[in-house]
Amino acid sequence: MKSKTRLAWAALASASLIIAACGGDDSSSSDSPSTEAPAETDAPSETDAPADTEAPAEERTASDVGVTADTITIAAAVADLEAVRAVGISIPDTLTTEHLFDRYQVFVDDINEAGGINGRTINLIQITWNPIDQSSFDTLCAEATIDNEVFMMINGTGLSSIARKCLLDAGVAIMYGDVMGSDELATGLTLSLAPPSPDLAVAAVNAWAASTDAAPGSSVGVLSNNSPALADAGKAAEAALTDAGFTPVLVEINSQSGDNAAINQEGADAVGVFQAEGVVQVFVGIPFTEFTGFSTAAAAAGLPYSIMDTSSSGCSAYGATQVKPEAYGSECVTYSDHATDGTSLREDTEFEAACRANFDENFEAYYGGKSMPGVPAGRIIEDVNGKVFISDYVYMECSLMNIMKLALEAAGVNPTRASFMEAALGLGEVPLANIGGGTGTLAPGKPYAANAVHTVRMVGADATTAPDANGLYNGCSYPGACAIVVSDWSPIR
């Protein structure tokens, strides 16, 4: 199913670390050579042994949970797609639980085949959750904290804040590709590719407030939910609207009920609340899995709204492919990059090209062709002319695994969770794929990588749409939903 090839890690890391290896003590040199004769010294005695100047190598030990003298055990959290299929939900054949895990395993194979990290190999284990059963997050947490000794959990997107809290309470370090709350990022145990959810909410409000012609004092809606990270984002948007001179109307739906039908009904009911308050705009900060009820009712009511990129896959390349037609035209301020600006494909950066090459070398045979920009993960799609579009490469996994390797290498011969986090926050500039304009920064007090956001607009096509003169489908790189870039990058606060 996959060929295990060695990724050029040096190429991936080239943009992330610049080490100054030159220089010396000014007192060790002078402006001109000495003319004095060397002082006489006693000849060494036959019994004098040369001094041993090399310190003994540090012995590898079991330095922390999940670390032995020879291995580091890391868990990759992936969705149990077979459980989703079992209840009759259609998923492409190429998307399997094992394939989601393999997207991480190929990077670990590269590391181990190159000799491991500081003498240890990585032992990657698979831990799953059921996307339609919130109680499965309890099982996931137990597997990572009781059933196995795990140094760290890594996940691109979808890992619930409920599961993250359980892991953090147990002291497990987490590397996450998507949005986390400020409190999570303040634990000293988390690294994220994305800015905190409240910062993204404020960025969305400020971008709108800077360009709107809405009258000062106008009522503006905020739709959030009661999960910790999104509740904080909703309150941040509320405060930003107040600061900008508007009257916020905050509605929180009960996301933790586990009842999808009830959640979507609450979203639809929120439209009536906003209409009754006379809002001129709504900021929506709920995941796309909860979005249908609101977007359908908002379209029927003609209620304008923007999306806040505050939830997993909210405005990511994948999240945009899941947007329904009634949401076309809505905008989002996001840290995620996208394949097109509506007229042309964006070229890969050097790091992105390396990520794509690695993906293709490992999975071209699996998909039957090379990856294509913007195509939803795991999908193979055919247009009206018979052209086949194959799943894009996985950018979160590539960015996370590169950062993980760099931080583990710098964490010392006997790494601990604390030394790993310290090393990660000392990396400085790191390359990012499809995020923040191509680079980000990890630094003390900044455990998230992305530095910039821009605005995108949701658009889309369907299977009947023919390509235009630019080879695009209503602005998308394939015949389906996407987001197109409509602004330049600007620094996140």
Q: What is the pLDDT of residues 48-66, one digit of tens each?
A: 545 555 667 789 999 999 9
DSSP state of 143: I
Alpha carbon distance 296, 290 (integer Å): 11
pLDDT value of position 67: 98
Tens-digit pLDDT profile for residues 253-269: 998 777 878 998 999 99
Query: Do 190 and 180 touch, CB atoms closer than 8 A?
Result: yes
pLDDT value of position 256: 79
Same domain, 151 and 228: no
Average pLDDT for 298-304: 95
Query: Looking at the predicted structure, is the pLDDT value of residue 308 above 90?
Result: yes
In a domain, 280, yes or no: yes
Query: Looking at the predicted structure, is the pLDDT value of residue 47 above 80?
Result: no
- Report CA-CA distances (Å) from 85 to 36, 130, 245, 260: 86, 11, 48, 17
Domain boundary among 312, 336, 369: 312
Domain boundary among 282, 312, 342: 312
Reported pTM: 0.87
Least confident piece of the model among 81-90, 113-122, 217-226: 81-90
pLDDT value of position 55: 62
Provide, rounded to the nearest whole percent, the portion of the chain with pLDDT above 70. Answer: 88
Query: Looking at the predicted structure, is the pLDDT value of residue 17 above 50?
Result: no
pLDDT value of position 465: 96
Tens-digit pLDDT profile for residues 424-448: 999 999 999 999 999 999 999 999 9
Same domain, 76 and 187: yes
Pick the residue with more confidence: 454 or 13?
A: 454
pLDDT value of position 43: 45
Same domain, 155 and 214: no
Domain boundary among 312, 331, 359: 312
Query: Looking at the predicted structure, is the pLDDT value of residue 473 above 50?
Result: yes
Pick the residue with more confidence: 390 or 89?
A: 390
Assign residue 283 the CATH number of its domain: 3.40.50.2300
pLDDT category at 16 given cuts 50, 70, 90 is very low
In a domain, 93, yes or no: yes
pLDDT value of position 259: 80
Same domain, 90 and 128: yes
Least confident piece of the model among 7-11, 126-130, 243-247, 326-330: 7-11
pLDDT category at 18 given cuts 50, 70, 90 is very low
Q: Which domain holds residue 281?
A: 197-312
In a domain, 222, yes or no: yes
In a domain, 416, yes or no: yes
Query: Looking at the predicted structure, is the pLDDT value of residue 361 above 90?
Result: yes
- Count of domains forming the chain: 2
Same domain, 93 and 204: no
Least confident piece of the model among 50-54, 143-147, 158-162, 241-245: 50-54
pLDDT category at 288 given cuts 50, 70, 90 is confident
In a domain, 480, yes or no: no
Query: Looking at the predicted structure, is the pLDDT value of residue 32 above 50?
Result: no
In a domain, 479, yes or no: no
Same domain, 164 and 207: no
Q: Please give the helix or strand (H or E) that residue 429 lies within, else none.
A: strand 428-431
In a domain, 339, yes or no: no
Find, among 10, 6, 2, 4, the residue nearest to 405 by Cα.
Answer: 10
Same domain, 178 and 95: yes
Query: Looking at the predicted structure, is the pLDDT value of residue 5 above 50?
Result: no
pLDDT value of position 157: 93
Q: Please give the helix or strand (H or E) that residue 365 lies within, else none.
A: helix 350-367
Same domain, 151 and 93: yes
Query: Looking at the predicted structure, is the pLDDT value of residue 45 above 90?
Result: no
- Secondary structure E strands in 91-160: 121-129, 152-155
In a domain, 95, yes or no: yes
Query: Looking at the predicted structure, is the pLDDT value of residue 34 above 60?
Result: no
Same domain, 207 and 286: yes
pLDDT value of position 367: 96
Same domain, 203 and 305: yes
Same domain, 263 and 221: yes
Same domain, 158 and 261: no
Average pLDDT for 296-302: 95
Provide, rounded to the nearest whole percent, the portion of the chain with pLDDT above 90. Answer: 77
Query: Looking at the predicted structure, is the pLDDT value of residue 2 above 80?
Result: no
